[in-house]
């Protein structure tokens, strides 16, 4: 059994992008992602992807033009097959859960990029 200090792990990241597996749990994995900027458009055909923002703000854009903005301690699940991209507003730290070895398929940028939705704040 291993104890991982997630706060120390993320504090030690000096690159603009790092995505690492912290734990494998049954057939899933828990990842720590620390990044700035945006990740490429993609989808995971065989795995849902859960995002939990620990620090910063994460925008998730979808191919239909919708955008969800998550702030600290907010989470959501992107269903398998959903074309999306993540964008960090400043430095963002998030935990993701997905199938171990989940396939990532990169795609061209979708044409629809209009609507924005912000997740409700827990204190609202």
pLDDT of residue 74: 98
pLDDT the model gives residue 82: 97
Phi, then psi, of 29 in degrees rounded to 5: -135, 155
CA 28 from chain centre, in angstroms, equals 15
Is the model more confident about 60 or about 115?
Answer: 60
Q: How is the chain split into domains, by residue range?
A: 6-118
* Residue 115, pLDDT above cutoff 50: no
The structure tokens listed for 107 are 């795609």
pLDDT of 118 strictly over 70? no
The per-residue pLDDT for range 54-104, each reduced to its tens digit, is 999 999 999 999 999 999 999 999 999 999 999 999 999 999 999 999 999
pLDDT digits (tens, 9 = 90+) for 8-33: 999 999 999 999 999 999 999 999 99
DSSP code of residue 114: -
pLDDT band at 110 (very low <50, low <70, confident <90, very high): confident
Centre a 10 Å sphere on the Cβ of residue 12 and count the other Cβ atoms it contains: 10
pTM, two decimals, is 0.87
CA 21, distance to chain mean position in Å, is 13
For 83, residues 6+ apart whose C-beta sits below 8 A from its C-beta are 41, 42, 43, 62, 63, 107, 110
What CATH fold (topology level) applies to the domain 6-118? Jelly Rolls (2.60.120)
């Amino acid at each position: 059994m291993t104890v991982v200090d997630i706060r120390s792990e993320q504090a030690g990241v000096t690159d603009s992008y790092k995505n690492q597996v912290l734990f494998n749990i049954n057939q899933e994995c828990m990842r720590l992602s620390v990044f700035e900027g945006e990740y490429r458009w993609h989808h995971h055909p065989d795995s849902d992807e859960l995002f939990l923002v620990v620090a910063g703000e994460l925008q998730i854009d979808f191919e239909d033009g919708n955008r969800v903005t998550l702030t600290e301690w907010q989470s959501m699940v992107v269903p398998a097959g959903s074309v999306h991209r993540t964008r960090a507003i400043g430095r963002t730290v998030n935990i993701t859960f997905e199938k171990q070895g989940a396939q990532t398929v990169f795609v061209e940028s979708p044409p629809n990029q209009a609507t924005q939705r912000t997740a409700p704040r827990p204190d609202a």
